A and B are shown apart, each in its own frame.
Chain A
Amino acid sequence: MNKELEHSFVELLEKHQNIVHKVCRLYTNNQDAHNDLFQEITIQLWKAYPKFRGDAKFSTWMYRVGLNTAITLYRKNKRRINTQDFEGVQFKIKAETYDDTEEQQLKLLYSAVHQLNDIEKALVFLYLEDKNYKEISETMGISEVNARVKMNRIKTKLRTILNP
């Protein structure tokens, strides 16, 4: 791989790294696992980069590789013990929006999302990232109708988790 390619890739990833961090937040429980997954996604992105064509947006392409790595390619490292709970480290509520009940409810919501399975998390992630059903269906490899149906089921599931 030539230096120019390396440079353009690292620069692009540095700029769009939030996408990878978001995937990691959804699929891991602690900082070590987050770093591990970030690393693996970076490697997979880099491996696929020579075939990346400018006709697709780099960020769109990242969603695909990032989710594929988290759902399918990443081999969870079992040796690491979860030292911190998801709710404790993952989502900080900004000071200006601080509200005890709102914060509690959001914490519960994030925790409920974390209880979803890998596929459900992927759909929720794409939804949170404002992707339309066409993009969701293309990324997951399911039909648009099925993506909608599944999303409705996820909403119901979340409600059940929150109000057992």
Chain B
Amino acid sequence: MDELERLKKDWKNQEDTYPKLSYNEIYKMILKKSSSIVKWIFIISLLEFAFWAVISFAFKDADSIVRFKEYHAENIMIPMTILGYLILIYFFYRFYTNYKTISATDSAKKLMENILKTRRTVKQYVGFNLIYLFISTFVALGILFDRDENFSEIIDKASANGELFKLYATTILVTLFALAIAIGLILGFYYLIYGILLKRLNSNYSELKKLEN
């Protein structure tokens, strides 16, 4: 008899060794809250959506935005803002429909795929925000160079001294450096949170995928 057959025989003999929970004990359990990984992904994702939405709102009345109004750059800023919100709505809709498809009654593989799909949508959203941050920073920089009076003076001065290239290069490099730090911090944070949360799911999913190859 092979190992599993022996185990099966004993497994069947174990039937009456399991605890017996009463009706009331089980009833109490259904009133408690779940602490499943899906719930955590949902909460973290909502926080991510909220985080980026709050950031865009928080900067709405900031001095720099008021100053931008003076540059009459509405033809650039308004479409960019609208685009940002449309994309937020699109991602939120996709996230929500993905989330609704997660069901514990699917096969193990399907369930894992649906969770990872939901996670991927939020990942794409974060990716979009980082790209948006990158582009809007450089658009803002371009507007500053072009329309800000203080900048015009500095540019004129640099131009007179023959250091125009140096000025542009330094500004762009400093901006790039600041952006790299900000993006690095954000990505590091995500990597840590999801690394911990999805480690087991990822390894189980790749175990199932391995079977198909």
Per the bound structure, the CA–CA distance linking A126 and B212 in Å amounts to 19
Task: Establish whether residues A14 and B36, one from each chain, have CB atoms under 8 Å apart when the complex forms.
Answer: no
Interface residues in A35-57 by Cβ distance below 8 A to B read: 38-40, 42-48, 51-52
Per the bound structure, the CA–CA distance linking A20 and B85 in Å amounts to 46
Per the bound structure, the CA–CA distance linking A118 and B33 in Å amounts to 24
Q: Which residues of A contact B201 (CB under 8 A)?
A: 72
Task: Establish whether residues B13 and A47, one from each chain, have CB atoms under 8 Å apart when the complex forms.
Answer: no
**CB closest residue in chain B, given A96:** B13
Q: Is the interface of A mostly helix, strand, loop or mixed?
A: helix
B140 within 8 A of A: no
Q: Which residues of A contact B21 (CB under 8 A)?
A: 14, 17, 38
Interface residues in B23-64 by Cβ distance below 8 A to A read: 23, 26-27, 29-30, 32-38, 40
Known: A94-B13, A113-B7, A158-B3. A141 touches B107 (CB 8 A): yes
Task: Establish whether residues A155 and B2, one from each chain, have CB atoms under 8 Å apart when the complex forms.
Answer: yes
On chain B, the number of residues with a Cβ less than 8 Å from chain A's Cβ atoms is: 50
Q: Which residues of B contact A110 (CB under 8 A)?
A: 7
CB distance from B108 to the nearest CB of A (A): 5
Q: What sequence of 0s and 1s flags, for each residue 17-38 of chain A, a beta carbon within 8 Å of any chain B beta carbon?
A: 1100110010000000000001
Task: Establish whether residues A150 and B211, one from each chain, have CB atoms under 8 Å apart when the complex forms.
Answer: yes
CB distance from B39 to the nearest CB of A (A): 9
Task: Establish whether residues B8 and A44, one from each chain, have CB atoms under 8 Å apart when the complex forms.
Answer: no
Per the bound structure, the CA–CA distance linking A44 and B33 in Å amounts to 10
**Residue picked from B23, B107, B115, most chain A C-beta under 10 Å:** B107
B161 within 8 A of A: no
Known: A42-B30, A127-B8, A140-B108. A73 touches B38 (CB 8 A): yes
B160 within 8 A of A: no
Give the interface segment out of B98-106, B120-128, B149-157.
Answer: B98-106
**CB closest residue in chain A, given B112:** A72
Q: Is the interface of B mostly helix, strand, loop or mixed?
A: helix
Q: Which residues of A contact B2 (CB under 8 A)?
A: 155
Task: Establish whether residues B105 and A128, one from each chain, have CB atoms under 8 Å apart when the complex forms.
Answer: no
Q: Which residues of A contact B40 (CB under 8 A)?
A: 75
Task: Establish whether residues B7 and A106, one from each chain, have CB atoms under 8 Å apart when the complex forms.
Answer: yes
Tell me which of B6, B34, B200 contacts A47 (CB under 8 A).
B34
Chain A residues in contact with chain B, CB under 8 A?
Answer: 6, 9-11, 13-14, 17-18, 21-22, 25, 38-40, 42-48, 51-52, 61, 64-65, 67-69, 71-76, 91-94, 97, 105-106, 109-110, 112-113, 117-120, 122, 124, 127-130, 138-143, 146, 149-150, 154-155, 158-159, 162
Chain B residues in contact with chain A, CB under 8 A?
Answer: 2-4, 6-8, 10-11, 13-15, 17-23, 26-27, 29-30, 32-38, 40, 103-112, 115, 197, 200-201, 203-204, 207-208, 211-212
- Could you pull out 19 A-B pairs where Cβ atoms are within 8 angstroms? A6-B27, A6-B30, A39-B29, A40-B35, A42-B26, A68-B105, A72-B111, A73-B38, A109-B3, A109-B6, A113-B7, A118-B200, A128-B4, A139-B107, A140-B108, A141-B208, A146-B211, A150-B211, A155-B2
Kindly list 4 other residue pairs between chains A and B, CB separation below 8 angstroms, not including A17-B20, A45-B104.
Answer: A64-B107, A124-B4, A128-B7, A130-B8
